[in-house]
């Protein structure tokens, strides 16, 4: 059985995305809207075998969203879709979740592992760390300057798995995060140089691994941000935390594991180009 790759406007990928992710098309409109190009694989009978869209990532080309349905040609279909996207937009990467993309086949075909999504979980750690000299940590709710909030969130943008931050992400409640639990780092000029966002869900905390401006990554600012958020969580009576990260370094992972957190989920991020 043969198949063909066809380009489509991203908006037309919504039915395929809904089937791949097990969600309604309406819930995934944001995903299609963020894509700049779309591709589908169709067999001889015009049956859909897979679909991907390209979502720009500031420092890493474009993330591929979507995936490939189960079937005897799954590996070949996945690789053909990825190569079509790569030819169209240049560097691409994807989170190789097994139900969407076959990681082993893609690694064998020449894609390289450039990072991972991870969730580490455990009891809320206690390890007091003061911020570096010249930096103050404030709850997001007290940082009223939208520009400083945006600067803090932009510290993620050079990490694989992250995307360009929009102004909407700076609002209280964006992403479901709590502005009183979340913390922003400001330097002595008032510029946002770090952020750690948190929320309480079903009695447990959800944290995004801290973002830190590149010129501060040699310091202990990341650890101080985590400590400040954990302090706020303990004050709220929360005892368990889940930390999500995309593209964290081996050293950052080692730091979190030394806090007593354990890896609960891990998905490789693979790149081409």
Q: What is the tens place of the pLDDT at every residue in 201-229?
A: 999 999 999 999 999 999 999 999 999 99
Q: What is the mean pLDDT of residues 11-22?
A: 95
Percent of the chain with pLDDT over 70: 100
Residue 138 is predicted with a pLDDT of 98
- Nearest-10 crossing angle of helices 250-258, 221-235: 40
* Residue 168: band (very low, low, confident or very high) from pLDDT cuts 50, 70, 90: confident
Q: Is the pLDDT of residue 165 over 90?
A: no
Contact 37, 57 (CB under 8 A): no
Pairing status of strand 112-123 against strand 240-246: antiparallel
- Residues listed for the chain: 273
Tell me 165's DSSP state.
Answer: P
Terminal Cα-to-Cα distance of the chain (whole angstroms): 29
Supply 115's token pair. Answer: 């990072």
* Residue 166: band (very low, low, confident or very high) from pLDDT cuts 50, 70, 90: confident
Percent of the chain with pLDDT over 90: 91
Question: Whole-angstrom Cα distance, residue 182 to residue 63?
Answer: 27
Q: Is the pLDDT of residue 58 over 90?
A: no
pTM (2 d.p.): 0.89
């Amino acid at each position: 059985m043969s198949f063909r790759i066809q380009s489509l406007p991203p908006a037309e990928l919504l039915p395929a995305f809904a089937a791949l992710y097990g969600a309604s098309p309406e819930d995934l409109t944001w995903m299609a809207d963020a894509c700049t190009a779309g591709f589908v694989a169709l067999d001889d009978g015009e049956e859909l075998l897979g679909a991907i869209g390209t979502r720009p990532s500031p420092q890493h080309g474009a993330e591929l969203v979507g995936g490939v349905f189960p079937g005897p040609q799954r590996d070949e279909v996945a690789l053909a879709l990825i190569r079509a996207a790569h030819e169209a937009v240049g560097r691409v990467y994807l989170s190789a979740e097994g139900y969407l993309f076959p990681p082993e086949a893609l690694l064998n075909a020449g894609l390289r592992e450039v990072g991972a999504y991870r969730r580490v979980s455990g009891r809320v750690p206690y390890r007091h760390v003061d911020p570096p000299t010249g930096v103050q940590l404030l709850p997001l709710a007290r940082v009223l300057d939208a520009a400083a909030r945006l600067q803090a969130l932009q510290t993620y943008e050079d990490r694989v798995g992250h995307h360009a931050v929009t102004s909407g992400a700076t609002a209280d409640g964006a992403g479901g995060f709590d502005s009183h639990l979340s913390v922003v780092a400001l330097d002595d000029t008032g510029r946002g140089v770090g952020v750690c966002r948190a929320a309480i869900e079903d009695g447990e905390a959800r944290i995004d691994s801290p973002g830190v401006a590149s010129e501060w990554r040699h310091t202990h600012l990341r650890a101080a941000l985590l400590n400040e958020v954990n302090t706020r969580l303990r004050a709220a009576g929360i005892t368990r935390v889940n930390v999500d990260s995309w593209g964290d370094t081996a050293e950052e992972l080692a730091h979190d594991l030394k806090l007593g957190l354990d890896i609960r989920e891990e998905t490789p991020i693979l790149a081409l180009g």
